[in-house]
Chain A
């Protein structure tokens, strides 16, 4: 399915005519070749990594926090990244790499603050403390983003800020694609290798411990990998909603709860879903539709239909 969506994405677009490029053009037209090689392929690669990272991180977090409503931005990462991007746009008039660096830095800072706060909260178990800390830190950064929106120049800064926060892969280059490749591939490989272990870490602390795991340490290692992958893809693509929330549900619905199957399923499904959404984002209208709008729209509809359908 992922390969099929990547194949379709290569030919979807607005050259030479809206929606679709005939495959034979790739052999005959040098402009088409350059377009695919320099614009579409890096974009497809980033979309694939973005979808896989968000869906993989979502699966890990939902299982570790025993909560199917959790998504990768949960521990202050998305709101931290959004704040970093907003700050760089409004305070520094930054663009491109500047926004990405600020987003990655503040995304990681969001996580660090969440973990630090969780260690200081004197209430509940580790999972509950992390959840509470994540909510508090996210709210803090969300307030900061709101403030920056309020003071942003409505003609120049605010549109860029809004566009980034809706998520988009417009103008992604090979340089950006290759820069996020090492972190995402390593993090996703780690999640994949730990997929059966993840089942154990979804159990309560006493049971997980009795089965020979070190629950706190192993959960933290998986969370760190999930957040690292999320932070780097969010830094390039902006805040892309819903993928990390619904794709894990879809994968579990199709393949069952055992993460041996659900996690690889979520990775492939997340990649395919994001690549398809991004293809629609750039091919449907003459202007670019922000990716986050499409993932929310298509994801919410597909999710509702699937949830209403009979259990297989």
Chain B
């Protein structure tokens, strides 16, 4: 479980405080979507949970323990991140890149061993990327790159996975593949938290939803309770209708 209580945060040099008193609980083993318009503070929220940003006040707990009581390596084993700005620098082979996910299990000066390679190959196999293992990352399409990022996170074997806009810029086919992999990870016991500004994605994938706007949580709860026309209209400040078509939720605006 991820618990944020009384979080206050503002970026250096900006007068406006983004989070004034943010409190939130994300259930363990859920597929949680953080939904909101651009600038709502979704990515900032993930960066606070990860520890990339430090709140000016308030506490963050991961599995009941205060986040700052974990060592870096412990946190690396607990929390994985697929970042929106995560570009693969230089031309690693896919296997070399996925192998980086094993870092939290190795000492600072250690090199990955056979067991780490085996786990990285397992992650590639799980995502259907085994044939790509020797390809360099600069030859991959955008969709393939996103799958490779997920494979790295899978090799990391975290209990909590944070994904910042994981399906942005992907076509329908790749979007579906990414969602299926996330669902598989949640089925394995991982808590997945993803940000998005696409309501349709939330309707298709999430079981727990946090609606955000201008640094405030407007609503948080199970999809069926929170994902309503009224709440989405408030979130986006335009009239939004949630319709049910063939048992699925469809967002009309």
Contacts and interface: CB of A to CB of B under 8 A. Distances in A.
B101 interface: yes
A205 interface: yes
B83 A204 contact: yes
Contacts of A205: 52
A63 B91 CA distance: 11
B90 A211 contact: no
B13 A194 contact: no
A304 interface: no
Contacts of A252: 90-91
A218 B109 CA distance: 12
A202 B89 contact: yes
Most buried by B among A66, A68, A203, A260: A203
B92 A257 contact: yes
Query: Which size class do B's interface residues fall under?
Result: 35 or more
A200 interface: yes
Nearest to A257: B90
Interface stretch (B59-67, B68-76, B231-239): B68-76
Contacts of B245: none
Given A196-B112, A212-B75, A203 B100 contact: yes
Nearest to B101: A211
Contacts of B93: 256, 258
A214 B75 CA distance: 11
Nearest to A66: B89
Contact of A207 (B12, B51, B81): B81
B30 to A, nearest CB: 19
Contacts of A213: 72, 76, 103
A258 B103 contact: no
Nearest to B158: A210
B111 A196 contact: yes
Interface residues of A, number: 28
B98 to A, nearest CB: 12
A59 to B, nearest CB: 11
Interface string A178-218: 00000000000000011011011011111101111110001
A200 B13 CA distance: 29
A17 to B, nearest CB: 46
B79 A203 contact: no
A67 to B, nearest CB: 9
B20 interface: no
Contacts of A197: 103, 108-109
B72 to A, nearest CB: 5
Nearest to A196: B111
Nearest to B47: A206
Interface string A94-137: 00000000000000000000000000001000000000000000
Interface in B212-250: none
A37 to B, nearest CB: 37
A122 B80 CA distance: 29
A256 B85 CA distance: 23
Most buried by B among A194, A196, A218: A196
A182 to B, nearest CB: 20
Contacts of B109: 193-194, 197
B211 interface: no
B87 A204 contact: yes
B150 interface: no
Contacts of A218: 108
Contacts of B50: 206, 209-210
B108 A257 contact: no
A197 B73 CA distance: 13
Given A200-B103, A211-B156, 15 more contacts: A66-B89, A122-B13, A204-B85, A204-B87, A206-B164, A207-B83, A209-B52, A212-B73, A212-B75, A214-B72, A252-B90, A256-B91, A257-B91, A258-B93, A258-B96
Interface of A: 63, 66, 68, 122, 193-194, 196-197, 199-200, 202-207, 209-214, 218, 252, 256-258, 260
18 contacts: A63-B89, A68-B90, A196-B112, A197-B109, A199-B96, A200-B100, A202-B90, A204-B87, A205-B52, A206-B86, A210-B76, A212-B73, A212-B104, A213-B103, A252-B91, A256-B92, A257-B136, A258-B93
Name the 3 nearest CB pairs between A and B, nearest first. Answer: A212-B76, A210-B81, A212-B104
